Structure 1
Amino acid sequence: MQRLIAVLLLLCVGVFAAESSFGSLSSVKASGPSSRSSIALTPASAEVAVDSSYILGPGDFLDVMLENSYLTVQVAPDGTIAIEECGVANIGGKTLAEAKELILDLAARRYKREFCYVQLAALKKFKVNAMGAVGQIGQHMVDPQTRLSYFIRQMGGTVTRANTEDVQVIRGKDTLHVNYSAMSIDGNFDDDIMLEQGDKIYVPYVGLGDNVAMIFPGYKTSVAYKEGRTLQEYFELAGGARLHSFGYKAACVREPGKAPRWISVTEMGSTVVSPNTEVEFSVQEMLVYVGGAVNFLGRYPYDPSWRVLDYVAAAGLNTISGSWSQIRIWRGTEPEAISVNVATDQVMPGDYIEIPKSHYESFKDFTLFLASLLTVLSSAFIIYVNYK
């Protein structure tokens, strides 16, 4: 009895499953030869409108409406799409407008053309090859409608010796030269081109010669030399404006064959240097020492634009005893006296400015010393004679 009941239950289940299957098949036939793909498509975010001139290629998805049927097809690696009971259309490399006509002509073999429709469902991703002075060389997967600036950031940016003024985008037989520095510094968005499938990016290096080295605290880079370019422009090209502000006090300029000189950061916009110059930015509190015949001895903050005359004026020259003509600077780890022109010669950080007394004051001090010495000797002689 139990076996009979089990057999009857199995027969009921089989009949129910068969009815379900026939029902689903009939629904497919009623809806057409194919249904919409079950692939979950991520909506493509487009910066600009994708018009009929968009070039289709492998990876693009199209929504195709065939009377009452609705399906999604993907462009195959060979550039073709297939529609059941209609055939195959080669749309790779065609514009969206051209592809629509080819697909509608293909669908017209079985469906009424006026009841068919084609639209772009999702844009293709593609690979772009990056070489040269970039953080990550090689092939990179690129989202549709990616601009050059975003792609460069996506691959780790450029290295310290990159010539960002001549980023080359090789597109087929043409080469586009893009000034990435002008784009990122001046906001020249016209040069921020949209990448296309097949593009190759090359960022050249700055040559070992004819450059200007920029030395920041814990960071050093170089920029390609260009005649007439100011230090402010080199600073911006080196990315100094995007670095953390350490409160630079001054910059030491070391040009080949010349003595180092210091300039204030406000002078950078008018300072032009020669090739292979090093510019080092300092954040230390730099001092100049003033002593001698002045009213206020001590230390004074270093200012690259100041000369000896300015420091002496700040210290207050004692015009009665001091002498302009005898001012000297003591400089170096083993100080040596240097005669300077108080109005033109530059002062360096750590210098000691000595304002000696005038010859008259020195002679007066010497005579006072001799008089004091004679007084002591005479007093000693009188004491000695009285003691005897």
Structure 2
Amino acid sequence: MKQTIFLTILAGALLLGQSTKELMKKAKEAGITTEAQAREMAKKAGMTDAQIDSEMKKRNLTPSGEEAAAEKPQVEPVEAPPAEAVVEPGTPEAEAPREEILPVVEEEIPAAVEEEALPLVGEEEAPAIVEEEVLPLVGEEEEVPIVEEEEIPTIGEEELTIQEEKELEDIEEVSLESQLQSGKKGLTYFGYDVFKGDPAVFQASTLGAIDPHYSIGPGDQIIIMLWGETQFRQVFTVGREGFIFIPEVGQVFVNGLTLENLEKKLFLVLSQSYASLDPSQGNATTFLDVSLGDLRPLRIMALGEVGQPGAYSVNPSTTLFTSLYYFKGLTTLGSLRDVRLVRGGKQVGRIDLYDYLLTGKPTNDVRLQLDDVIFIPPRGKTVSIQGEIKREAIYELKKGETLEDLITIAGGLKTTAYLDRAQVDRIVPFEERAEVGMERILMDVDLNDILYRDMDFAMKDGDQVQLFSVLDIRQNVVVITGASVGRPGIYDLGDSLRLSELIIQAGSLLGDAYVDRADIVRFRSDLREELIKVNLGRAMEGDREHDIFLQPMDRVQIYSLTEMIPDHRVALSGHVKRPGRYPLLEEMTLYDLIFKGGGFIDEKYLELTYLQRAELVRVKEDSITKEIIPFNLEEVLNKEGLAETLLRSDDAIKIYSLAEIEGAPEKFVSIVGHVKRPGRYELFEENMTLYDLIFKAGGFDDEEYHKQTYLKRAEMVRVMEDGVTKKIIPFSLEELLNKEGLAETLLRPDDAVKIYSLAGIEGIWWDKFVSIVGHVKRPGQYELFEENMTLYDLLFKTGGFDDEEYHKQTYLKRAELVRVMEDGNGMTKEIIPFSLEELLNKEGLADTLLRPDDV
């Protein structure tokens, strides 16, 4: 058995520091079954025989096969199920005896070793061992009498589920791969999105001076001007062969000349035709000026890791940096730190774009010439940084640049950065993996060493730097809470602070403070909390036993009397104007509470009150049962009977209305829907008909309103004689308005009539309406059935302005038309003011055509 464990120890040489159980699992997953395999792997990882023996001694094991051999006769071979086979047939591992792995199922394992052996059995068998060895201790019938009754609830299904294999795997599993720290996220490459803009935006001004080294070529314009005795100005374009033709002079070859050399050559050529140019013949009386006009575009090549490699025509003022915009910059595979310029097959310049992006200085930028080649090599060392840094991104570093340089490039640390530890997730370079024995490692770095002690930390390609934040905990504070403190909150602890001093800083105690106790919750050294109870009154008197010194992060709770003393209340419900729960005041009587409820000085309200009986419901002394104490309300209101009965906590008084006891004397019918005055109407006439009710609701003499009403059907809902079931009685509203059909049907109490609008039944998709509100005689919605309906027409329909008295009460200087507008951002409303006086005189906006939904 120990031989098997020893193999797992050797196999875990790469994972020193892990538990034996973790190492056994990894050995099993890797298929290691022999001591030779395990020892070989440990030696490859750099361990010596002495280190292997030392590790074995730490685990109280010996590298001897004799012990395993002694155990082997006690074990019967067991064949593993096919589903659990983890070794492919034909491999050397498949030929190894299974007895060294599977005996755990049969042999008796000491309790100290059992847990470590479980992972070697296989994922499917692990639960079986747990159930066989553990469950009977809790669940077998013969064991139950041993457990006391009060202890049974502490051992339940919830605790047993912790032993399931799935949860054990979640806790014990160790991954060989780096796990992302919480808060890590995907980053973008720094600088590459700069080149997605318009190339013209980044070019030098075309109005500036021409580079004196600019090489003249075909397509360039040359401006020659003579002034003085001879006046001459003409623009010449360099031909394809490099010549310009000057009248009376002939062809002049200018291709490849700089501006300075061009001027010299033209002076010599023109001096032969214009003697006044040559000072050797005396004082020159004619003078020459040569300048360049429109310049030909440059043709360059872009190669390497660029977005669109190929040939490009660029502005003559283009430089190495600004040329990158023409071909949409670099791909993320290209280097921003080493952009190269090749001219005539030789590298003549290179720029680091980080200089420009970070400082705005185009260091070493070069003006391009015809047939220049811009070459972008692959990106160099690439690292990322995120967390408490000002500019999270993926960056490219030059050879020799360190973590401090990376922090500078990324804009520096945020003020919330934690300096004692940063973490670097590193992929070990190929050439170092054999020595290190791992492919990925995590490294913790003290930023204080980097920033303040001049220590360098070299970066490797693929490094991921995570900067952490300081904790959101302020350790130099204490907290005081409670409604009985003037200003509860967080306070500076200072050098020292007693409880009484904190309370004074917090505005002292209020009048209802409970002084017999205050609580202080304090963190112990192991971060567990303890409760410290003090007498607040003594602490405020200066008693040092209770007026203790506070410690960082203490939380002080001050209580109020209302929290300590129960809140006693009484209730009033029923036919009162202000029902509810009222505080129980000292010496509060039954009459006092009814008086607070109000309404009984109102004679009309009193007439609707049942006075012969009201009820007081009181909780008995056992705090469970209740008794009803009836009383005559009329006597109480006259301060007789039980009027002076003192109330107790939780007493409840019920007042009844006359309608509840004797039935409602009033009878009502209702009408809802498309009517002008929907609601409940008193059925005070024995001969009130269906027509009468609809006439009361109004609206059907209004032609516009009438048009919007669905006339073919309306409904009356009637309560049947059993008082429970209801019946719908449909009728034609059109017939009823003509006093036909059911017009003369007598109404009964609780009848309900429903009138429908045309829009509610048939929809209004074909209808168009405008509305008018405010100081008009007939406000409302009007159908826009005329295509040429104007603003004046609408005001005319609403009426009132021919009435002199009504006209005098109208504000004429301004009215408003609200119009729904539609633009690219959706639907908006526009307010169009106008003079009402002008409109009524058919001036101003009087003839403005209305649109649907105008208001």
- TM-score, reference length from structure 1: 0.50
Higher relative contact order (CA 8 A, sep 6+): 1
